Amino acid sequence: MNTHDYILTLSCPDRVGIVHRVTGWLLEREGNIIDAQQFGDTGTQRFFLRVHFSLPRSTEVAELQRQFQPLAEDFGMDARIHDARRKARLLILVSRQGHCLNDLLFRTHSGQLPVEIAAIVSNHPDYASLAGSYQVPFFHLPVTPETRAEQERRILDLVEAERVDLVVLARYMQILSQNLCQALSGRAINIHHSFLPSFKGARPYHQAHARGVKIIGATAHYVTADLDEGPIIEQDIERVDHSMSAEELAQVGSDVESLVLARAVRRHVEHRILLNGQRTVVFK
């Protein structure tokens, strides 16, 4: 029998009966729970739930959302239902460091990452040929202080025209305006090394090498108007030692950044992330 998969995510004030009502709603529709994860935060008194379920008949997501709305209102839920088999569409922003871009392109092309890359935007022309080798549209949009507003408008036009679900800043070395951050709220992810705020600016790995650091790492987070302070999605570290050159530290850092960003993108497109104030609940 053919079934149709969906994912329900929700958060609401914690109280008795939430799971009972949700599973009852699924039972009424002959739904089968494939996977369910939940978390109750005793600090914020909020409850978080992700349910991957199947139905015997295909139903439009908008219709399922409409049917679920009365239950959501009863519990004050922020609830979303997603088509589990629909691949999210990505817009990747990149500057002159291409390791994260290359990694995302390969993972997508090889089927490791369940997404479609709608387009790549860069303020430099460097990776046009790389994009072309994967048959992904490439847009060179230079930016200066005088042209920033127009350049960001063109980015938003692309987001709308290409029905983009997630914008990924794959080492995009431009600070987004507050307007663009607000327009992309909850659907833009950034990656950076985890030296912040110790080693800011250019050549952070060389700064770290000069200080003799023993651990380097990377952080992926949602983009907000507060620079590099959005809710954290994923982090990782690697140990380094005195025998390594600054260039070797940078290589290790590139590998960690690529891995952490890919994990964060996967968590987002699989609808495993729920906001909990300035923090995230990330279901495995």
Active site residues: 228
Query: What SS3 string covers 223-284?
Result: CCCCCCCCCEEEEEEEECCCCCCHHHHHHHHHHHHHHHHHHHHHHHHCCCEEEECCEEEECC
Q: How many Å apart are CA 188 and CA 159, to the nearest integer? A: 11
Look up tokens 């431009």; give the residue. 174
Cα distances from 268 to residues 3, 104, 114, 236, in angstroms, run: 24, 14, 11, 17
Which of 265, 210, 253 has its CA nearest to residue 97?
A: 253
Q: Which two tokens stand for residue 207?
A: 């700064």
